[in-house]
Structure 1
Amino acid sequence: MPKSIERIARYFLLAVFFCGFIQSISAQDQKLADSLAVIYRENNLSDEERLELLRNLSFNEMRDLSLGLKYAEELISLSEKLGNDLYLSRGYLQKGNKIRYQGNFEQALDAYFKSAEAAKKADFKVGEGSAYIAIADIYSFSNNPANALLYYYQAISTLRMTSDSVNLASAILNLGDEHMNLKNYDSALVHFSESKIIFDKVDYPAGKAISLGNLGMVYANIGKSDLAESNINEAILVLEASGNYHPICTYLISMSDIYTGKGENEKALAYAKRSLSLAQLHKLKEQMSDANLKLSEIYEKIGNTAESFRYYKDHIAYRDSINNLKSIQKMADLRTDFEVSQKQAEVDLLNQEKRNQRIILISLAIIIVLGVIILSTLFWYFKNIQKEKKRSEDLLLNILPTETARQLKVNGKIDAIRFDKVTVLFTDFVEFSMFAEKIAPEKLVYSLDYYFKGFDEIISRYGLEKIKTIGDSYMCAGGIPVPNKDHAITMAKAAKEMLALVENAKKKDNGFPHFDVRIGIHTGPVVAGIVGSKKWQYDIWGDTVNIASRMESSSLPGKINLSETTYELIKDHFECEYRGEMQVKNRGNFKMYFLK
């Protein structure tokens, strides 16, 4: 899939989720669930009253998904006992929603099918249509467009027999999105146009804006740039009225991608610059980073290296957190460059040693006849080679874990290894990008060097493994390359010392800027190994790394944010504060804790 379409597809996937549940999410009320729970515990209602109570409890309970699922299961059980298909359909729909939020699509799909079946028996068209939308959404998320299209059409057919205009328009919008991703542009235009009309009729600005933006994307793909711009501009006006600037920037960057793919670089530049200006106006750091990166790519493509480099530097300056492994590998700061250069020097020394040893072996026959003098010279020369070898090995051990270095020397390669439980820590300095714009680079680098040397010393004492530094972020892991059962506890101790180091530094006047720090920790499986054939780097991969990064970005200045997985491993050893269940970008809800 081309890069431009990938970007659009990611945005549309969010739009599908938003539209498919546009009514239910906006109506949920945790406070109502809390108050109804009191009535639930009193347990003095009739069966019919209890059905409605359970429906409201399962619908509104969002803080504790397990509790919401329990209410839904009880609603299903009571509905089956009373033979009430209407509430049975509602129970299965809420069960599917709660399981879906937990990330289990397969079980959620089964619940949605049962909801549709019960709604059909009860002649409950709104419920049947809602279940079909949920089924289609699951197939869409699972990259099964054939089934997604089938059930969106079925949902639309069913909902046209009801007065539920918002759900109907959402299903039509999602159907258009599927056609858009399949490049069925004519069909996409028809459906986006209809959803816009319905959303406009019922005065639903959010749905109208997404419909307009999607229409603009279709027109851009079929070469109707005037219509593309007019629709996206209208979408932007609607979104600006509601103060929702993130999707505006995304639309503009996606337009830039499309025109870049068509070779229309001037139009691509115009859209990217417009996205950057809007992001700067509303201080959207992530969108500023994306726009600067896009401008750097376009200028590089047209051969303007100076402008490309300028925007790429700005892209790095605005980057606060790592979004995926690809960006981790691409974006390294001066400190990382220095470490990589050291690795290359070590590899060169090892190769030189091998070449020298081959020369020695070939020359041995000649050296023997030259007598004691030449033998003495050879001894002296060999002694120096051994000294260089030891120096090379010492340098290699400074870069790679001992066991990894040993395997590299013996086998000449490193096999990737899976570790089932590893604790990963990320740190990030607050408002580092703002300081970077105002402070001399020498002072900034000196400040980072002070903190990172301190972090290095702390994790060395605790037997943890430093992975890398990325800009102003520091990454380390426990439980690798040699597994141990106390890695989570050890990491928690190290994190507290890191935080203390930063706090104590703020009390000193040592001539360089001081920062607050955010720390995030998560425990889970990773794959570890060496990347690349030159400038080797020991690294780890897996969803655990991404979640640990999200824990950091979800933390607060001066706080250590723990995932539920890490909390369960250390809760008997440290005092922790439950933060609640929080939304993590592209990941759903996570329970989080502050380490005290």
Structure 2
Amino acid sequence: MMKSWMCILLGVLLSTGMENRLYAQTTSTQNTVAPASVTKAIDRKTADSLFNQGVRFQDTQAYQQSLVLFGKSQKLYQDIGDGKRVGDCFNYMAITYYYQGDFSKAVAAFKKGAETFKKIRYKKGVASTLNNIGSVYNSQGNYLKALEHFRQAAIIFKEIGDTDNLTAVTNNIGLIYTKAKDYSNAMKYFTQAYAVYKRGGNQERIAQIQDAIGNIYLKQGKYNNAFQSFNESLQIADRKKDKQLQILALNSLGDLFYAQSDYKKALPYYERCLTYSNQIGSLQSQAESQIAIGSILHRLAKVNDAVNKCRDGLRLAREIGSVSLKKRGCDCLYQSYKALGNDRQALHYFEQANTLEDSLNLSETANKVMGMEFQKQQLVDSIAYVKKEHAIQLKHKEEVQRQEKQRNMIILSLGFILLVAAGLWAQLNYVRKSRAALKVEKDRSEALLLNILPEEIAEELKEKGHVDAREYNLVSILFTDFKSFTQTAEQMSPQSLVEEIHTCFKAFDLIAGKYQIEKIKTIGDAYMAAGGIPHTDERALKNIVLAGLEMQKFMTQRAAESRAQGRPAFDMRLGIHAGPIVAGIVGVKKFQYDVWGDTVNTASRMESSGLVGKVNISETLYDLIKDEECFSFEYRGKVHAKGKGDMGMYFVEKKFVYELA
């Protein structure tokens, strides 16, 4: 439920060194102008003092005060031309923003720090800020960007031989492996990092790595191992009285007991975590704790309290822009509203959660991680190949050292081959990317076509360029229409009118999908659907009636809610008839799948002859479904239908709750 820790490289930022010496001040009483060197020394002393105070305030979680002090010291360092210290100030401000959960400001400040370090060619500072930006993206659930920044940081640390910070970045890459569910590789990276921290006696890092290892055990279902790791992490955090570490360990222990369905034991850990989060003002941790507590309250059947907690957590998640947290908040509200029987709100949050799930791109992250491992293996193989070739060339040189001309020809030939190989590789890479782009566009076109036409009809259209009309002996046709639509619409703004119709027809689309009936079209405020096409289905007659009853139920509930809030509302008539029809596509532009025949006209008369809130069916359809035990019928007698004369009609209702087969 909660996020994993990550390495923010404070150590790198401190490594530039802080000059603590005091500067002598003049005791002369003469009214003279201080030399530039004296003024610069005074400014440095003031800047160093402000910076040190900012660090102390940050360590005690007094974040607002630390931001003010870092800002003042940054301006002084800028004036005296100390680029390293300017970069440090930006990075410490960014870390403060991160602790507060303000991720957008954190990324912006880190980027300013990276730009400053690049100008003075300070590679260690550049690498640390790249790592820290990746850590922020990881907290937001943007794993692809996080992975890219960690990779860039690792390359620089390896280039300059900084083993300690390379270990920290390696650990962060292990976290991404965890997200991609590649636990064996994740554990490999964590174990390597743990050995380095253990040798150096870095207790804070040991606590963090134990938490990461514990999360791997948790995901593998090794609960005893996970508890030992989390408990060791918490003991270190309590000894250090480090609230950030305490929050990390408490979250993980809560997750452990939640995974074992021991909700009463998990709850105190999350509540203690929320207390510490409020004390240090961390919006990220507050959001995580609120959502975790809400999820547990839902499990404990305290549904109203769960809604309040999850709503507060979702609000904070939106404020800090965390995609993964917003998804968990929407999932929690979906489950809670579903338990309360509030289907409309439950559906709203269910759709939001699905949208957020797509944006996480976890599968793409997994593929990219695997690609990194493949590139790493290629590098190892290439090194081995180069060593082998070098040995062969030395031996060859000893044998033919006097044959300079032949040797030169071999070198030129190898160069030409490498050039050709590079060209072929570039061309192959271009073709692969082009095919991938074409596949994306093709998939989008396929999805759009299937949203307009039934799958079988779409395939025939693609294959032949046209669709042959088809006759069906028995198809059920459903029509809906809003009563007094014009009068009601006059009470609404154009925008609210369109939104209301969209809400209703969207609900009808979901119901149609649930009962496997085909939406044909909408005509103004009318909605038309058919059962039994393009494939005949023995359940189609029953399903279309069940769909009609559910549509009326939705409209009745929505009208009651709207009127209770003083808003205009629509009442609806609904009619169904069954009989033979012809179906197909006409025209060559803006394709539309449609149906024709007297059955369609008769279904329309069933709707216009019906009553608000009722499902009116023809006597023909009644004869076909009268033996279905799930329905009860009310005979209306002969009712006059325009253009049809007197026709037998029935109102139909559900006799008991029926689950779709």
| Higher relative contact order structure (alpha carbons within 8 Å, sequence separation ≥ 6) | 1
Relative to the length of structure 1, the TM-score reads 0.38
Relative to the length of structure 2, the TM-score reads 0.35
